[in-house]
Amino acid sequence: MRVPLSWLRDYVDVDVSPEALAERLTLLGMEVQGIEHRGADWQRIVVGELLTVEPHPGSDHLLVTTVRTSPQEPVLTVLTGASNVAAGQHVPVAVPGAVLPGGRRIEVTRMAGRESQGMLCSGDELGLTTDADGILILPADAPVGVAMTDLFGDVVLDIDVKPNRGDALSLIGLAREVAAATGARVRWPEIVLGESEPPTESHVSVEVEDAVLCPRFVARYVGGVRVGPSSLRVQARLTAAGVRPVSNVVDASNYVMLELGKPTHTFDADRITDGRIVVRLARPGERLETLDHVLRDLTPETLLIADSAGPLSIAGVMGGASSEVGAATTAVVIESAVFDPVTIRRAAHHHALRSEASLRFEKGQESRLARIGANRVAQLIQAWAGGQIAAGCADTNPVEPEPSRLPFRPWRVSSLLGADVPVAEMRALLQRVEVQTEPAGRGDVVPVAAGFPGVVLGAADAARALVAIVPPHRRDLEIEADVTEEVARVMGYDRVPGRLPETPMPEYRPDPRRTVDAARDALAGRGLDEVVTHALVGPVDHERLGMPADDPATIRVTNPLSIDHSQVRRSLLPGLVRVLVENERQRRSDVSLFEVGHVHRLVDGVPAERPMLGVLLGGDQSGAAWNQAARPADLWEVRGLVMALCARVGAAPPSAARPDSFGPFEHPGRTAVLHVEVDGGACELGRAFELHPSYLEAVEARSGHVAVALLDLDVLQSAIPAVRRYVPFPRVPAVERDLAIVVGDGTLAGDVDRVIRESTAPLLRGLRLFDVYAGAPLAPGERSLAFRLTLQAAERTLTDEEIDATVARVVDALAARLGARIRS
Amino acid sequence: MDLDTLSARLSTLEQAGLDAIRAASSPEALEAVQVAYLGRRGELKTVLGGIGALPAPDRPQVGAIGNAVREALEAALEIRRRELQTAALDARLARETVDVTLPGRPFRSGSLHPLIETNREIARIFGQFGFVVYEGPEVESDARNFQALNIPPDHPARDLWDTLYVDVPGYLLRTHTSPGQIHVMQQTAPPIRALLPGRCFRYEAVDASHGFEFFQVEGLMVDEGTTMADLRGLLDAFAQAMFGRGRPTRFRPGYYPFTEPSVAFDVQCVVCNGVGCPSCKRTGWMTILGAGMVHPVVLRNGGLDPERYQGFAFGLGTDRIAILRYGIDDIRMFLENDLRFLEQFS
Ligand SMILES: [Zn+2]
């Protein structure tokens, strides 16, 4: 809320600097987010008196004026394009050398052949009012020659009023806070009405259909008004507070909203059929043209102010055009009501019409203010627009609620804060926010958690407990902890000491990030850069992965900021690829990335997310240099990385197999599915692959080969044995045998590997593929796979016979199961 | 053959051998000299073969001379061998000399993302005080993100979070890590000291200080007798660890529906040290996080009795901490992943 200090001073004395006041309000919970010095940027703009105003002989839209800005200085000749000026008026004059808000300099200029020695200013040019069409006409008593800053400068505090403090969305509410901070007294405006017969009830009646939706409705009638602009002082105050001045009647309503926090509405009384107002929900098919001249369909949840002819306004949100107060209005009906906050909030959201008024209604309204607000608006209308206030008012619920009683235990206040606050001090602190206290009685109930049963005080506790008498404007004080906060914020949080907890430590809990962090360290240690990409991606990202835009397993954002971020990612791949492409545009050809993040999908209609690790390699992987050749990003590179990180986190290396099917982004000849052993069974860890050339083209990647691994971190975690045991290694020498095995088309290295392992157990200690060869003299399609077998028995040296027999067994098995032969 | 003749021949042989040894310019040549003079069919053997023609009394004298010649040659051989070895080594070292100012082999140094590393640092600091890490989902239920946190539907406080909703009824993208409080309380009995890092989402236009995806860390401590003084002490310790010893801090009132009382935790501006600058809006303070005592309704929703247990919670923005820690002026850098940015965190 924007608070002009000159206005605030109507209700409370402020004898400290704006900066000091801002600091104290902030420390009280009314955070001052900005201090605006209005008028500080009006340089050499003074009050001038127009001596003459005449048409410009050479122009049909310019006027030539002469202005006196001081008895000593010569009279200035100033040209203006505005038409609202007349001799004798006092106006703001920017004399040569002046600077306007925004830095615009005013110098002597020539217009249509005549010299202009400065400029007459509009209210808008000074930021003082919002009128940009005419010159700002100052009050006749504005002293000539005085700087405008001295007359109309002000300081405006921008205060962030929290949602629970609707009462402080007003000058009077913030005056109460200033008083709490400084000990000053709050001055309410004096509301005295001169009323006239006939009474209000002869002009207007009010019927409320559902008192839950409208607990109170107060109406008043003011006849004989003359609608026109408000005084400059009122306009300047409203403008400084961020509300656009409209007319004296509408301004009176807005002024009271800012002053008391009470939104009201004014109707042209002659447009209310028979003077009969009904507060009701909209009926099917009803429509209303609102003040902004939009014809709106009204839903049956919309609360209306209506007459027998139909809707007049959307309650608490916006008035209707048909009953708008305008220049021809001579009598007004003032509405000052309390509405159900949720109903108003929904209507404002539904019609996208959130206003200063609806914002205040949403936070709940003090019943008492309905009557006070109606009276205050009537008073100001009469003062500003003349007319007669009809005697009395229509009031659907003329009962003023009692202050509420809130029993609390001072020792619990101290124990929550961890600071001993003496009871007497506590009572004094509460008094500063208009909360009186009295002794509690046996059986009083302390509200601990709203919506749950409270604590009934026994005799002993009752003797030490207090009851806070909560004033009606503090609807946010409901439970004991609320009292604690009032005590703390008025006392000042510097009284809460800092100390480290002495309560027992929690049980040990393994860090769920341990494996992830080990994997991250391993990959960064191998030269990869960690990235964090958006969890929200576009439909095209998923379509490229083979998931249609309307895929039933995809979770979509219903109110996305843009189509590019409208779906929750199902894979880390699109984000990684985007980083690759963006960096390729920066001429990088050595990209190696990884990301740890969640991927999402719907399983049986319920969101399911899994932590994944994505690795992407594009371009040179070695860091080519004068002494090192470039190494391409390929399947082997990424598989090697996966093996290294598995070893680092303590999992066995995954096995690779050719998958049964491929995504459209996977190179069908260069995709492996990776399995790890979990509880004795094979579990899919993820996939390692090179990107399909068509995919690379679609995403406009420059790299010809990009290798990727996408791993499920939960599977990786479960593949790590709970305990790692040392295995004794044999002290007897091992024997190595090399076998070059020729296989035909379709036989995979993994198949050969498996057959060797199965036919040599338990003597095999190591197995390493050290060469792959194809070409003459082998037949086309044949490959020679050279393996080195390391054979060893646990406790003795193998004999030549045993070794030969083992090798023979391998050769036979390879021949029998894979049709392989040994290359001699 | 007489003694003098034989002696003269041995003397000549010795001189010739020593000359040959000195002339040998490689280990192989030296080896040949050794064979030629001292080998089984070498010169020395040949000359000494004439010893049988001498009278018996002369023989020991000739034998002694022969041994002396052998020893002289062997000594010379050894010296020459060392000389040649040293020369060979020197030659090798000279041959292998390189331009040592050429750059080393480029092992690539990877990097860890500043946001995730900041989360890890935060967890490390609070870990010293017994806080352990928990995790919660990114796609969260409205019930936990709002309702269990004392924010009913249509509550004005919902305006504090501009929410991104999803097409699954009852779910949304979590707007803060605070629903983690409910997860933890429902699965763990006090004493609780929990830390919940995670990615959050808001309907927010992107600029230098806002993004629609960002990271937070939630802290929660619940036990009998946990107080706001405990909160203050821990946050002070955190601020000292993160921003250096002796940096002033303060609590000021704040507002969250799920804490009561609620506070904002300010640290003296790290840019101007409290003098006032644009970074701190001339207040001299920077707000690091929001915190407060867990609202009794939230304790209830977490299954705990507020008459028995008290607790505090705090939520800090990882992005904000990282910005202050590294002097980054644009939050968008974090998700742009420009390698020129990332490589600075290796
Ligand atoms: Zn600063």
Q: Which of B164, B337, B342, B345 should one mutate to test binding to chain A, selecting the residue with the greatest count of A CBs within 10 A?
A: B337
Please give the distance, rounded to the nearest whole angstrom, from the Cα atom of residue A15 to the centre of ligand 1.
Answer: 27
Give the rounded distance of the alpha carbon of B146 from its chain centre.
40
CATH classification of the domain holding A7: 3.30.56.10
In a domain, A502, yes or no: no
**Neighbour-count burial for A109-143, b at 16+ CB within 10 Å, e otherwise:** eeeeeeebbbbbbbbbbbbbbebeebbbbbeeebe
CA distance A159 to chain B (A): 13
- Residues whose CB is less than 8 angstroms from the CB of residue A613 and which lie 6 or more positions away in sequence, other chains included: A516, A519, A572, A594, A595, A596, A686, A709, A710, A711, A713, A716
* Closest alpha carbon to B168 in A575, A471, A555, A569: A555
Chain B's closest residue to A490, CA to CA, is B253
Spatial distance between the Cα atoms of A150 and A40, rounded to a whole number of angstroms: 10
A-chain CB neighbours of B234 within 8 Å are 500-501
Q: Are residues A569 and A544 in the same domain?
A: yes
CA distance A506 to chain B (A): 5
Taking chain A (824 residues) in consecutive chunks of 10 residues, what is each chunk's mean pLDDT? Answer: 96 95 96 92 90 86 90 86 89 90 87 87 88 87 88 94 94 97 95 94 95 96 95 91 94 98 97 95 94 93 94 95 94 97 93 92 93 97 96 93 94 97 97 97 95 94 97 95 98 96 92 94 95 98 95 96 97 98 93 97 96 95 87 94 94 93 96 94 96 96 95 96 86 90 91 93 91 92 94 87 92 94 86
**Burial (CB count <10 Å: 0-12, 13-18, 19+), residue A670:** middle
Nearest to A529 among B106, B110, B226 (CB): B110
The CA distances from residue B330 to A532, A533, A596, B207, in Å, are: 15, 16, 23, 8
User: Cβ atoms within 10 A of the Cβ of B78, count?
Assistant: 11
Residue B224: pLDDT band (50, 70, 90) is very high
Do the Cβ atoms of B224 and A625 come within 8 Å?
no
The CA distances from residue B41 to A642, A714, B35, B46, B59, in Å, are: 68, 81, 8, 7, 20
ipTM: 0.90
Q: Are residues A262 and A175 in the same domain?
A: no
Q: Which of B116, B125, B223, B328 should one mutate to test binding to chain A, selecting the residue with the greatest count of A CBs within 10 A?
A: B116
Please give the distance, rounded to the nearest whole angstrom, from the Cα atom of residue B252 to the centre of ligand 1.
Answer: 17
Domain count within chain A: 6
CATH classification of the domain holding A697: 3.30.930.10
B-chain CB neighbours of A535 within 8 Å are 138, 199, 201, 213
Do the Cβ atoms of B346 and A524 come within 8 Å?
yes
Question: How wide is the angle at C-alpha A640 spanned by C-alphas A636 and A643, nearest 5°?
Answer: 140
In a domain, A190, yes or no: no
Q: Are residues A553 and A689 in the same domain?
A: yes
For B190, half-sphere exposure in the C-beta direction (CA atoms, 13 angstrom radius) is: 20
Chain A's closest residue to B220, CA to CA, is A506
In a domain, A481, yes or no: yes
CA distance A609 to chain B (A): 7
Spatial distance between the Cα atoms of A624 and A749, rounded to a whole number of angstroms: 30
Q: Are residues A384 and A427 in the same domain?
A: no
Q: Are residues A379 and A424 in the same domain?
A: no
Q: Which of A336, A361, A395 delimits the end of a domain?
A: A395
Q: What is the reported pLDDT for A541? A: 97
A-chain CB neighbours of B132 within 8 Å are 506, 509, 511
CA distance A340 to chain B (A): 11
Do the Cβ atoms of B132 and A583 come within 8 Å?
no
CATH classification of the domain holding A137: 2.40.50.140
**Burial (CB count <10 Å: 0-12, 13-18, 19+), residue B2:** exposed
In a domain, A500, yes or no: no
Q: Are residues A30 and A130 in the same domain?
A: no
In a domain, A442, yes or no: yes
B-chain CB neighbours of A586 within 8 Å are 338-340
Do the Cβ atoms of A499 and B230 come within 8 Å?
yes
Q: Which of A495, A522, A553 delimits the end of a domain?
A: A495
In a domain, A303, yes or no: yes
Segments forming the whole domain that contains residue A796: 735-822
Q: What is the reported pLDDT for B316? A: 95
Please give the distance, rounded to the nearest whole angstrom, from the Cα atom of residue A103 to the centre of ligand 1.
Answer: 26
Please give the distance, rounded to the nearest whole angstrom, from the Cα atom of residue B263 to the centre of ligand 1.
Answer: 21
Q: At what angle do helices B114-127 and B318-326 cross, to 10 degrees?
A: 100
Spatial distance between the Cα atoms of B150 and B242, rounded to a whole number of angstroms: 31
Q: Are residues A252 and A175 in the same domain?
A: no
Pairing type for strands A63-68 and A76-80 reads antiparallel
Spatial distance between the Cα atoms of A119 and A93, rounded to a whole number of angstroms: 6
* Closest alpha carbon to A380 in A232, A249, A196: A249
Do the Cβ atoms of B167 and A591 come within 8 Å?
no
A-chain CB neighbours of B155 within 8 Å are 163
Chain B's closest residue to A601, CA to CA, is B139
Question: How wide is the angle at C-alpha A448 spanned by C-alphas A446 and A449, nearest 5°?
Answer: 140
Please give the distance, rounded to the nearest whole angstrom, from the Cα atom of residue A20 to the centre of ligand 1.
Answer: 17
Q: Are residues A713 and A777 in the same domain?
A: no
Q: Which of A467, A495, A523 delimits the end of a domain?
A: A495
Strand partners, A556: A567
- Residues whose CB is less than 8 angstroms from the CB of residue A658 and which lie 6 or more positions away in sequence, other chains included: A671, A672, A673, A748
**What global pTM score does this model have?**
0.89
In a domain, A769, yes or no: yes
Rg (CA), chain B: 44
- Over pLDDT 70: what percentage of chain B? 100
Cα distance from N-terminal residue to C-terminal residue, chain A: 91
Residue B107: pLDDT band (50, 70, 90) is confident
Q: Are residues A165 and A142 in the same domain?
A: no
Give the sign of the dihedral formed by CA B111, CA B115, CA B120, CA B125.
Answer: positive
Q: Are residues A306 and A453 in the same domain?
A: no
Q: What is the reported pLDDT for B312? A: 98
CA distance B89 to chain A (A): 26
CA distance B154 to chain A (A): 6
Please give the distance, rounded to the nearest whole angstrom, from the Cα atom of residue A808 to the centre of ligand 1.
Answer: 80
**Neighbour-count burial for B113-143, b at 16+ CB within 10 Å, e otherwise:** bbbbbbbbbbbebbeebbbbbbbbbbbbbbe
Residue B1 has pLDDT above 80, yes or no: no
User: Cβ atoms within 10 A of the Cβ of A456, count?
Assistant: 13
Do the Cβ atoms of A28 and B253 come within 8 Å?
yes
Q: Are residues A227 and A299 in the same domain?
A: yes
Amino acid, res. A18: P
Q: Are residues A529 and A553 in the same domain?
A: yes
Do the Cβ atoms of B167 and A558 come within 8 Å?
yes
Give the sign of the dihedral formed by CA A313, CA A318, CA A320, CA A324.
Answer: positive
Q: What is the reported pLDDT for A679? A: 87
Q: Which of A165, A490, A531 should one mutate to test binding to chain B, selecting the residue with the greatest count of B CBs within 10 A?
A: A531
Please give the distance, rounded to the nearest whole angstrom, from the Cα atom of residue B269 to the centre of ligand 1.
Answer: 4
Do the Cβ atoms of A530 and B137 come within 8 Å?
no
The CA distances from residue A98 to A39, A120, A490, in Å, are: 13, 11, 46
In a domain, A728, yes or no: no
CATH classification of the domain holding A758: 3.30.70.380
CATH classification of the domain holding A346: 3.50.40.10
Query: In the β-sheet with B259-268, what is the strand arrangement from edge to edge?
Result: B132-133, B192-201, B213-223, B310-317, B285-294, B259-268, B249-253
Do the Cβ atoms of A536 and B212 come within 8 Å?
yes
- Residues whose CB is less than 8 angstroms from the CB of residue A453 and which lie 6 or more positions away in sequence, other chains included: none
